[in-house]
């Protein structure tokens, strides 16, 4: 296994992710663990992370000296490189400017780490890497025994290596996606240089996670807000595997879910898996509170507040519960960790079903905290959740409440649910010939939106005067920006025909061709 020592960088988890992608087991521990811990860990190799400290705040953390005496390979990244240099007799100086962002580094010589790894060659024939840099200080003198491994004009010692002792260090960040060869570099370090076996798989992760949850929770009871979304579902399945009946899920139906969603959730968890689920049908209550309200932000606030109240009153009945479990995943952790600008204006006040206040006085349990979305999905599949539930498009906490423009009414929700289900069904059924994938797989999120305006139509010999539904389908990596999906015309035509024929009350279907920005994905 690989030991990753964390000096507090925002992206330390990404190192772990890349190592896991190479199917090598690793653990992250704080940089100030003891020498004894390091000696007893049994690492095949050690990675020293970057640090969040800027050049202006003095970062003084050091790696335990034992790291350099284990006789195993060590890789220092960014601050990890600097502390390695300093601790082994080199010299670090504050840089005049902070270097941040894209850079091209030239790889020198054929070290085992970078030899043959390159993105392009210069006219002179130098191998070059496209990388991501973020640092203020830099190494100005290498420790004895080290040779230069890479350089840039502004950072002459951008990477260094002592191949005899198998110590490697890079000033750039191989763990972030902007460093194109990053996965190859980290894989080479852990597999070839450290000789770690690529035998880490999801089933091992489950065994470990189960053990950790059992130790943490003991014989106490846990509550989880189950929404039917991927994260809370996978968290429920994992917790159920670990602690069985000590877990109780609370599933709040606010009347703004998709067609048959409540039945599906109850079937899967309560009936098939035997999870204890309290199904709260609060739809009448939510509809009552939303009556007459047309402002999108007010609607969101009402739904969020009501949700918390219902959840609190239900969980209050479980007097033995000591833990509140949430399906927080790693990107949520990073987002709330101050990565977002404080000055950003509120476009939408997101309400997440997981985001409950701490007035519940429960201890927080977040078993998915270290995982990325695709890892959560792989975990879900490994835990036996059905593929189509694990690979479902995201669904917002306020549900159809933000997809019915203006005032929310039960009749509108019922029409919208049926139109939406037809759209989704056709996306699942239609295969793109070029890729062999369904259009559901080719889109990141797709849904119908209810427009409370009426237009004139003709059906048979009669005049109709009915509502309009808009279809929305987008492709995106991160949901921060998105393109509208170029769905085939015949697919759109089929969906339109079916909705108008099958859903009485809707006589017109339009397709949304707006990107984000300037539009957003949801209409409210």
| CA gap 11, 15 in Å, rounded | 7
Contacts of 307 (CB under 8 A, 6+ apart): 252, 254, 351, 353, 397
- Is residue 284 within 8 Å of 446, Cβ to Cβ? no
Under rule CB under 6 A, residue 422 binds ligand XMP: no
* Helices and strands (DSSP H and E) totals, the chain: 15, 19
Tell me the closest approach of the beta carbon of residue 476 to ligand XMP, in angstroms.
8
Under rule CB under 6 A, residue 483 binds ligand XMP: no
Contacts of 248 (CB under 8 A, 6+ apart): 221, 222, 223, 224, 276, 277, 278, 318, 321
Is 227 annotated as a binding-site member?
yes
Residue in 171, 352, 443, 507 binding ligand XMP, rule: CB under 6 A: 352
Under rule CB under 6 A, residue 401 binds ligand XMP: no
Closer residue to ligand XMP (CB): 18 or 351: 351
Closer residue to ligand XMP (CB): 201 or 339: 339
335 in catalytic set: no
- Is residue 174 within 8 Å of 113, Cβ to Cβ? no
Closer residue to ligand XMP (CB): 282 or 482: 482
| CA gap 406, 296 in Å, rounded | 7
Closer residue to ligand XMP (CB): 70 or 446: 446
Using CA atoms in the order 152, 90, 166, 108, what is the torsion angle rounded to 10 degrees?
20
- Is residue 129 within 8 Å of 174, Cβ to Cβ? no
Is 319 annotated as a binding-site member?
no
- Is residue 48 within 8 Å of 7, Cβ to Cβ? yes
Is 455 annotated as a binding-site member?
no
Catalytic pick from 31, 99, 108, 173? 173
Nearest to 75 by CA among 51, 111, 47: 47
Residue in 65, 211, 479, 481 binding ligand XMP, rule: CB under 6 A: 479
Catalytic pick from 78, 155, 194, 249? 78
Residue 73's φ and ψ, nearest 5 degrees, are -65, 145
Residue in 44, 396, 422, 507 binding ligand XMP, rule: CB under 6 A: 396
Tell me the closest approach of the beta carbon of residue 347 to ligand XMP, in angstroms.
6
Token look-up 């009749």 returns: 411
Under rule CB under 6 A, residue 512 binds ligand XMP: no
Closer residue to ligand XMP (CB): 243 or 325: 325
Under rule CB under 6 A, residue 305 binds ligand XMP: no
Tell me the closest approach of the beta carbon of residue 51 to ligand XMP, in angstroms.
31
Structure tokens at 458: 């003709």
Q: How far is CA 483 from CA 400, 433, 477, 487, in A?
A: 22, 21, 10, 12
Is 458 annotated as a binding-site member?
no
Is 232 annotated as a binding-site member?
yes
* Of 218-226, 289-297, 338-346, 514-522: span binding ligand XMP (CB under 6 A): 514-522
Question: Which of positions 43-72 make contact with ligand XMP (CB under 6 A)?
Answer: none
Total residues contacting ligand XMP by CB under 6 A comes to 15
Under rule CB under 6 A, residue 348 binds ligand XMP: yes
Under rule CB under 6 A, residue 152 binds ligand XMP: no
351 in catalytic set: no
Residue in 445, 496, 499, 507 binding ligand XMP, rule: CB under 6 A: 445
What is the crossing angle of helices 283-290 and 296-316, to 10°?
A: 150
Question: Which of positions 375-394 make contact with ligand XMP (CB under 6 A)?
Answer: 394
Buried b (16+ CB within 10 A) or exposed e, 304-333: bebbbebbeebbeebeebbbbbbbbbbebb
Terminal-residue alpha carbon distance, the chain: 47
Catalytic pick from 99, 163, 175, 306? 175
Under rule CB under 6 A, residue 350 binds ligand XMP: yes
Alpha helices in 373-471 (DSSP H): 373-382, 387-390, 410-429, 439-442
Residue 95's φ and ψ, nearest 5 degrees, are -75, 155
175 in catalytic set: yes
Under rule CB under 6 A, residue 516 binds ligand XMP: yes
Under rule CB under 6 A, residue 520 binds ligand XMP: yes
Under rule CB under 6 A, residue 340 binds ligand XMP: no
Under rule CB under 6 A, residue 398 binds ligand XMP: yes
Under rule CB under 6 A, residue 351 binds ligand XMP: yes
Question: What is the three-class DSSP state of 127?
Answer: strand
* Of 8-16, 192-200, 343-351, 366-374: span binding ligand XMP (CB under 6 A): 343-351
Tell me the closest approach of the beta carbon of residue 402 to ligand XMP, in angstroms.
6
Nearest to 3 by CA among 51, 52, 41, 50: 41
Buried b (16+ CB within 10 A) or exposed e, 137-172: bbbeebbeebebbbbbeebebbbbbbbeebbbbbbb
Question: Catalytic residue numbers?
Answer: 78, 173, 175
- Tell me which residues touch ligand XMP (CB under 6 A): 300, 348, 350-352, 394, 396-398, 445, 479, 516, 520-522
Question: Binding site membership: which residues?
Answer: 227-233
Residue list, annotated binding site for ATP: 227-233
């Amino acid at each position: 296994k690989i030991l990753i020592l964390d000096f507090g960088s925002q992206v330390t988890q990404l190192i772990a992710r890349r190592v896991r992608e190479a199917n090598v087991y690793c653990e992250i521990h704080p940089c100030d663990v003891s020498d004894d811990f390091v000696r007893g860990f049994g690492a095949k190799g050690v990675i020293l992370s970057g640090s969040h400290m800027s050049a202006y705040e003095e970062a003084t953390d050091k790696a335990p000296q034992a790291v350099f005496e284990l006789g195993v390979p060590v890789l220092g990244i960014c601050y990890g490189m600097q502390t390695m240099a300093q601790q082994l007799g080199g010299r670090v100086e504050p840089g005049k400017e902070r270097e941040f962002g894209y850079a091209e580094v030239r790889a020198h010589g054929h070290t085992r780490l970078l030899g043959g790894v390159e993105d392009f060659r210069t006219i002179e024939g130098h191998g070059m890497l496209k990388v991501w840099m973020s640092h203020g200080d830099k190494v100005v003198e290498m420790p004895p025994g080290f040779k230069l491994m890479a350089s840039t004009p502004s950072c002459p010692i951008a990477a260094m290596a002592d191949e005899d002792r198998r110590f490697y260090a890079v000033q750039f960040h191989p763990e972030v996606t902007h460093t194109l060869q990053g996965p190859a570099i980290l894989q080479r370090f852990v597999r070839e240089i450290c000789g770690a076996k690529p035998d880490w798989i999801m089933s091992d992760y489950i065994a470990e996670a189960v053990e950790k949850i059992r130790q943490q929770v003991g014989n106490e009871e846990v509550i989880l807000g189950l929404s039917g979304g991927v994260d809370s579902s996978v968290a429920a399945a994992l917790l159920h595997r670990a602690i069985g009946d000590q877990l109780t899920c609370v599933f709040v139906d606010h009347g703004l879910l998709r067609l048959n969603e409540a039945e599906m959730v109850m079937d899967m968890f309560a009936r098939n898996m035997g999870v204890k689920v309290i199904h709260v049908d609060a739809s009448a209550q939510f509809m009552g509170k939303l009556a007459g309200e047309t402002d999108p932000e007010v609607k969101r606030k009402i739904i969020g507040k009501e949700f918390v109240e219902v959840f609190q009153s239900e969980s209050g009945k479980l007097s033995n519960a000591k833990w509140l479990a949430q399906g927080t995943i790693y990107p949520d952790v990073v987002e709330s960790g101050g990565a977002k600008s404080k000055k950003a204006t509120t476009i939408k006040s997101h309400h997440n079903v997981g985001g409950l206040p701490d007035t519940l006085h429960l201890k927080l349990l977040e078993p998915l905290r270290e995982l990325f979305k695709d890892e959560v999905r792989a975990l879900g599949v490994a835990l036996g959740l059905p593929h189509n539930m694990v690979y479902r498009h995201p669904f917002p906490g306020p549900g159809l409440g933000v997809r019915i423009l203006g005032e929310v009414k039960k009749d509108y929700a019922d029409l919208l649910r049926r139109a939406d289900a037809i759209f989704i069904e056709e996306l699942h059924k239609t295969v793109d010939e070029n890729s062999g994938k369904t259009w559901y797989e080719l889109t990141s999120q797709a849904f119908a939106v209810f427009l409370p305006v009426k237009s004139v139509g003709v059906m048979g010999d009669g005049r109709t005067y009915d509502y309009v539904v808009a279809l929305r389908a987008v492709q995106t990596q991160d949901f921060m920006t998105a393109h509208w999906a170029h769905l085939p015309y015949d697919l759109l035509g089929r969906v339109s025909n079916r909705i108008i024929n099958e859903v009485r009350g809707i006589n017109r279907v339009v397709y949304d061709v707006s990107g984000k920005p300037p539009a957003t994905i949801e209409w409210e």
